[in-house]
């Protein structure tokens, strides 16, 4: 598979790079960013944390604002950040910020016109890791994390594929999308009116019924404007209690939905994942 390097920046002894490639699962050109820690220069294969961003974001938000490179360099963890949706002139879109380009919701759309391109679930689960592991000096050890819509995506991917991820974490995830306006709008468009099909992409429902477990860390700011209407962490807590799931959900007074919140606690998340990932000699 051909990929094109768009930019390279040295950071904390490693490299932050952006690439584009033609995606088979999405049917368009996609961009992603990767941070390669300095350990790869010594011939080591390093594990990968996949970071999924939220509504309106691209691959750039996390890499530029989260301040994750320093700790990733210390721990020897690569970070891969895909875009949040397919993009292009022939890709379906919507006037709202919470549907269409920039708002893929990490599902495989089944409804027209979205089903032509919007298969972010397959892209993040299969195509992108296969590409990354074939091109870069990384191992097949993976963890996944994300913010808001991306936190929803990270939890769903880990809960549905526990054998493929060592750990999962999220900041301010959309925890119960079948019961919030963001999720209901997106799922109606992408998946149709049969709400039974929505349940496969709801972290709280998946966690309640989970038979296998992936260690999970979730941070939620108590001053988040979206907390009550959209995020519903209490549903995730109830699900974890019902299934005895290894979830640590922490609430933080005064923190909002922004990258100031993510930057404040990203080191703890990286160290959490490092406990389940191993750098190969």
The β-bridge partners of 46 are 138
Q: Each residue of 160-194: pLDDT tens digit?
A: 999 999 999 999 999 999 999 999 999 999 999 99
* Residue-averaged pLDDT of the chain: 97
Rounded to two decimals, the pTM is 0.97
Query: Total structural domains in the chain?
Result: 1
214 within a domain of the structure (yes/no): yes
224 is an active site residue: yes
Q: How confident is the model at residue 279 (pLDDT cuts 50, 70, 90)?
A: confident
Q: Is residue 196, in this structure, part of any structural domain at all?
A: yes
Q: Is residue 14 part of a domain?
A: yes
How big is the chain, counted in residues?
281
Calpha distance 225→111 (Å, rounded): 31
Examine the residue annotation and report whether 148 is marked as an active-site residue of this protein: yes
**Is the alpha carbon torsion for 135, 138, 140, 145 positive or negative?**
negative
Whether 76 is in a domain gets the answer yes
Q: Is 211 part of a structural domain of the chain?
A: yes
- With respect to residue 52, please indicate whether it lies within any of the assigned structural domains: yes
What single string gives the DSSP state of each residue in 68-133? -HHHHHHHT-EEEEE-SS--STTS---SSTTSBTTB-TT-B--STTGGGT-BHHHIIIIIHHHHHH
| Catalytic residue (one of 59, 83, 202, 224) | 224
Q: Among residues 148, 169, 175, 204, which one is catalytic?
A: 148
- Give 19's strand partners: 5, 32
In eight-state DSSP terms, residue 167 is -
* Domain-located, residue 281: no
CATH number of the CATH domain containing 89: 3.40.50.1820
Q: Which domain holds residue 37?
A: 3-276
Supply the DSSP string of 250-278, one letter for each residue.
EEETT--SSHHHHHHHHHHHHHHHHTT--
């Amino acid at each position: 598979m051909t990929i094109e390097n768009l930019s390279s920046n040295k950071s904390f002894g490693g490299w932050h790079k952006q690439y584009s490639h033609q995606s088979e699962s999405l049917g368009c050109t996609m961009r992603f960013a990767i941070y390669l820690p300095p350990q790869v220069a010594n011939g080591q294969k390093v594990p990968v944390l996949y970071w999924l961003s939220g509504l309106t974001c691209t691959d750039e938000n996390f890499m530029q604002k989260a301040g994750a490179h320093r700790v990733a360099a210390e721990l020897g963890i690569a970070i891969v950040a895909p875009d949040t949706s397919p993009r292009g002139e022939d890709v379906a879109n919507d006037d709202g910020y919470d549907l269409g380009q920039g708002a893929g919701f990490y599902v495989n759309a089944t409804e027209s016109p979205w089903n032509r391109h919007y298969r972010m679930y397959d892209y993040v689960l299969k195509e992108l890791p296969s590409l990354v592991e074939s091109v870069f000096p990384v191992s097949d050890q993976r963890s996944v994390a994300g913010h808001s819509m991306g936190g929803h995506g990270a939890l769903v991917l880990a809960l549905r594929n526990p054998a493929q991820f060592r750990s999962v974490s999220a900041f301010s995830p959309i925890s119960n999308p079948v019961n919030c306006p963001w999720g209901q709008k997106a799922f109606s468009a992408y998946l149709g009116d049969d709400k039974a099909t929505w349940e496969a992409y709801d972290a709280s429902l998946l966690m309640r019924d989970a038979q296998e477990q992936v260690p999970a860390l979730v941070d939620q700011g108590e001053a988040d404007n979206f907390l009550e209407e959209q995020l519903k962490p209490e549903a995730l807590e109830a699900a974890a209690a019902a299934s005895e799931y290894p979830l640590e959900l922490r609430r933080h007074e005064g923190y909002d939905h922004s990258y100031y919140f993510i930057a404040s606690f990203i080191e703890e998340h990286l160290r959490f994942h490092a406990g389940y990932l191993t750098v190969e000699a």
